[in-house]
């Protein structure tokens, strides 16, 4: 009997954590993107694709991605922060992208100002990040790397999750607590949506 099957009295076998078609499609799309970008050799692509097609559980699907490049850039171990990161924009505008180091525990506060946080350009201190976003009358725009798992922990006020895609197997995790009193907090994959809004309000 397979190790990933549980049997209960008078019940048919139940597979542990089975994957759906959407999970497999997302995984295969990620493999194709990596191969097209030259980040995977043909042999690595073929091996991972065979594993993804044969997988029946999330654990098996994640094992196919264990040695593949992550969708984020991790900070070197020697430079990872040991204390929480707190960024405040009171009446100003902040653009946080290349060079910004995302701590394992990061808080972004925009009182009446605006913050643009590009997590595709930032370095990540951990594969699992606790991100706290808070604004009174300001705006916070967060660009989320495609493939990352976004887990909303607490959402209060006008919070916009703009067509976020399913995560890849074994993806880095972004746990989000977002509170907007009279402002707006947006999470999206598309940096153009922020640029368009900014031009519209000029």
Residue at 52 is within a domain: yes
Same domain, 161 and 125: yes
pLDDT given for residue 196 in this prediction: 44
In this predicted structure, the answer to whether residue 194 has a pLDDT above a threshold of 60 is: no
Residues 11, 96, single domain; the answer is no
User: Has residue 191 been placed in a domain?
Assistant: yes
For the chain, give the DSSP string: --TTEE--TTS--EESSB--HHHHHHHHHHHHHHHHTT-S-HHHHHHHHHHHHH--BHHHHHHHTTTSPPSSEEPPGGG--SS-EEEEESSSEEEE-TT-EE-SEEEEEESSSEEEEETTTSEES-SEEEEEEEESSSEEEEEPPTTPEEEEEEEEEEEEEESPPPPPTT--EEEEEEEEEEEEEEEES-HHHHHHHHHHT-
Clarify whether residues 81 and 48 are in a common domain.
no
- Predicted confidence band at 178 (pLDDT cuts at 50, 70, 90)? very high
Do 87 and 181 lie in one domain? The reply is: yes
Please state the domain count of the chain: 2
Q: Residue 24 is part of which domain span?
A: 5-64
Identify the domain boundary among 27, 44, 64.
Answer: 64
The model's pTM is: 0.78
| Position 69 in a domain | no
pLDDT of residue 200: 40
Chain segment 28-46, per-residue pLDDT in tens:
888 898 899 888 899 989 9
Task: Report the pLDDT value the prediction gives residue 191, as an integer from 0 to 100.
Answer: 82
Pair 185, 125 in one domain: yes
* Residues 65-80: tens digit of each pLDDT: 888 888 899 999 999 9
Q: Do 50 and 110 fall into the same domain?
A: no
Does residue 108 belong to any structural domain of this protein?
yes
Q: Mark whether 98 and 193 lie in a shared domain.
A: yes
Claim to verify: residue 155 and residue 57 sit in the same structural domain:
no
In this structure, the answer to whether residues 98 and 194 fall within a common structural domain is yes
């Amino acid at each position: 009997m397979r190790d990933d099957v549980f049997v209960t009295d008078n019940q048919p076998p139940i597979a542990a954590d089975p994957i759906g078609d959407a999970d497999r499609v997302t995984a295969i799309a990620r493999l194709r993107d990596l191969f097209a970008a030259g980040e995977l050799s043909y042999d690595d692509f073929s091996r991972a694709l065979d594993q993804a097609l044969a997988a029946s559980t999330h654990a098996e699907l994640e094992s196919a991605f264990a040695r593949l490049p992550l969708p984020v850039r991790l900070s070197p171990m020697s430079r990872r922060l040991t204390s929480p990161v707190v960024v405040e924009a009171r009446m100003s505008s902040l653009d946080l992208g290349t060079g910004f180091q995302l701590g394992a525990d990061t808080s972004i506060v925009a009182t009446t100002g605006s913050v643009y946080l590009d997590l595709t350009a930032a370095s990540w201190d951990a594969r699992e990040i606790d991100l706290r976003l808070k604004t009174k009358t300001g705006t916070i725009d967060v660009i989320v790397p495609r493939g990352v798992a976004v887990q909303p922990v607490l959402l209060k006020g006008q919070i916009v999750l703009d067509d976020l895609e399913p995560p890849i197997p074994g993806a880095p995790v972004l746990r989000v607590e977002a509170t907007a009193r009279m402002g707006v907090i947006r999470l999206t994959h598309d940096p153009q949506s922020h640029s368009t809004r900014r031009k519209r309000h000029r």
